[in-house]
């Protein structure tokens, strides 16, 4: 037919090789906790599929001091190497867990291991610094903060606020250092004002306690337990995760985060010389957006705000955010695994990074 073009389709063949991702936690629940980690998993899976390779996800955790393994697809298991596994992806996601125990096991498999540092400041022990091990870093260095600083300077913002409830974490301090560096190099020493909590208010502990102190979660649990006895099983199984996990652990703890941040927001808003707020992450940026809307402050007119992570809700609220370019990170990590045997790799202490990008929306303006 005139004006049409045939599209050549590629027939998908069954995968004969695998890449194993090994991460901390009871993965059937905890994979859903962090937006960045969700996006990372989706991109790794997509890149593996393009290479006609399957991504297998394993979780490890300690139960009564015993190391337990779980595979996302099959449940409880043991992590064993096999010929069809090309290599391993190992995200370091929490400083509370000692990852060296797992890495020693992986190194013994003599396959390429791509380690992703998501906490900042984590150092690979000397005995694990092997040619088949490469460290990658995302979201934790000073570079994202510096890029955001240069972006705001280009818009004319010469005095800004950095607001973080997570300043105990290396990644938060590094974002501030990057901002500071950009402003100092432009001749604006001391132009980045900090409004932070420096003690570790981990969202699933302190904020969880805030929720329990301010409302009776037990009443909600008792109501749901009573009500679900009267509803069909097909509805109950869909609602259980929301009432038992999502509402108390995500919705209400985010509300508690915003409540605590209000103290910092009031302090920052009192400084009339500040024309832009940089929030440590998008959870904080969205809380700032709600706060400023309630105060009837013109976002993107009177005051600019920007966050980090480029969560979907920042698109919905039109909040400018830093995108860490997760797809590119997944691509270069898998490139290392796929082509390790073709190259003469040497261990390097400096982590491999990729450039992120700022997704500009209406919450930032030129002044």
Calculate mean pLDDT across residues 241-251: 71
Pairing relation of β-strands 276-279 and 192-196?
unpaired
Say whether both 28 and 111 belong to one domain.
yes
The pLDDT tens digits of the residues spanning 73-127 come to 888 898 889 999 999 999 987 766 678 888 999 999 999 999 999 888 778 889 9
Whether residue 150 has pLDDT greater than 90: yes
In this predicted model, what pLDDT tens digit does every residue of 275-291 receive, in sequence order?
Answer: 999 999 999 999 999 99
Residues 67 and 204 in one domain: no
Mean pLDDT over 165-184 rounds to 95
Both 166 and 305 in one domain: the answer is yes
Do 130 and 150 have their domain in common? no
Q: Kindly state whether residue 348 falls inside one of the protein's structural domains.
A: no
98 plus 221 within the same structural domain: no
How far apart CA 121 and CA 41 sit, in angstroms, is 23
Please check whether residue 356 lies inside any domain of the structure. no
Copy the structure tokens of residue 291: 């706060």
In a domain, 8, yes or no: no
Mark whether 117 and 207 lie in a shared domain: no
Q: Check if the beta carbon of residue 92 is closer than 8 Å to that of residue 57.
A: no
Interatomic CA distance for residues 86 and 103, integer angstroms: 16
* Cα dihedral 254, 260, 262, 267 sign: negative
Could you tell me the CATH number of the domain that includes residue 33?
Answer: 3.40.50.2300
Domain that holds residue 231: 143-323
Count of domains in the chain? 2
The answer to whether 356 and 324 have CB atoms below 8 angstroms apart is yes
User: In this predicted structure, what is the pLDDT of residue 203?
Assistant: 44
pLDDT, tens digit, 9 for 90 and up, residues 329-351: 999 999 999 998 877 777 777 89
Same domain, 124 and 166: no
Q: Report if residue 366 sits inside a domain.
A: no
Q: Please tell me whether residues 183 and 332 are part of one structural domain.
A: no
* Residue 160 counted as domain residue: yes
Question: Which is more confident, 147 or 244?
Answer: 147
Domain check: are 126 and 147 in the same one?
no
Does 134 score more than 60 pLDDT? yes
Q: Does 363 map to a domain?
A: no
Are 240 and 218 members of one domain?
yes
What's the pTM value of the predicted model, to 2 decimals? 0.84
Among 90-94, 110-114, 217-221, 356-360, the least confident range: 217-221
Indicate whether 227 pLDDT > 70.
yes
Same domain? 160 vs 305: yes
- Round the average pLDDT of the chain to a whole number and report it: 86
Q: Are 116 and 328 in contact (CB under 8 A)?
A: no
DSSP symbol at 320: E
pLDDT of residue 221: 77
Same domain, 172 and 186: yes
């Amino acid at each position: 037919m005139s004006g049409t073009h045939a599209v050549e389709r590629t027939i998908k063949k069954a995968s004969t090789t695998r890449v194993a991702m090994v991460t901390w936690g009871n993965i059937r629940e905890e994979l859903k906790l962090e937006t960045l980690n969700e996006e990372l998993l989706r991109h790794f899976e997509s890149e593996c599929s393009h290479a006609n390779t399957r991504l297998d996800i394993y979780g490890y955790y300690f139960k009564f001091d015993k190391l337990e393994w779980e595979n996302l697809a099959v449940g409880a298991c043991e992590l064993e190497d096999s010929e069809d596994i090309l290599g391993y992806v190992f995200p370091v996601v929490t400083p509370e867990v000692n990852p060296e125990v797992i890495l020693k096991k992986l190194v013994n498999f003599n396959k390429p291991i791509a380690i992703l540092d998501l906490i900042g400041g984590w150092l690979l022990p000397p005995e694990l610094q092997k040619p088949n091990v490469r460290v990658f870093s995302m979201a934790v260095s000073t570079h994202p903060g510096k890029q955001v600083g240069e972006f705001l300077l280009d818009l004319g913002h010469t005095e800004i606020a950095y607001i973080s409830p997570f300043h105990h974490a290396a990644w938060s301090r590094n974002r501030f250092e990057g901002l500071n560096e950009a402003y100092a190099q432009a001749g604006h020493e001391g132009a980045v004002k900090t409004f932070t909590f420096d003690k570790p208010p981990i969202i699933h502990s302190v904020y969880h306690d805030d929720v329990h102190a301010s409302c009776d979660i037990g009443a909600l649990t008792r109501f749901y337990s009573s009500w679900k006895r009267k509803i069909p099983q097909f509805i109950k199984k869909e609602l259980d995760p929301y009432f038992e996990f999502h509402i108390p652990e995500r919705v209400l703890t985010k509300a508690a985060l915003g409540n605590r941040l209000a103290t910092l927001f009031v302090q920052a808003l009192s400084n009339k010389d500040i024309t832009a707020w940089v929030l440590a992450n998008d959870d904080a940026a969205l809380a700032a957006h709600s706060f400023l809307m309630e105060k009837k402050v013109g976002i993107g007119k009177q005051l600019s705000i920007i966050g980090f992570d480029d969560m979907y809700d920042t698109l919905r609220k039109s909040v400018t955010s830093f995108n860490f370019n997760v797809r590119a990170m997944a691509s270069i990590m898998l490139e290392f695994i796929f082509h390790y045997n073709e190259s003469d790799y040497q261990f390097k202490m400096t982590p491999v990074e990729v450039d992120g990008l700022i997704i500009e929306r209406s919450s930032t303006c030129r002044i």
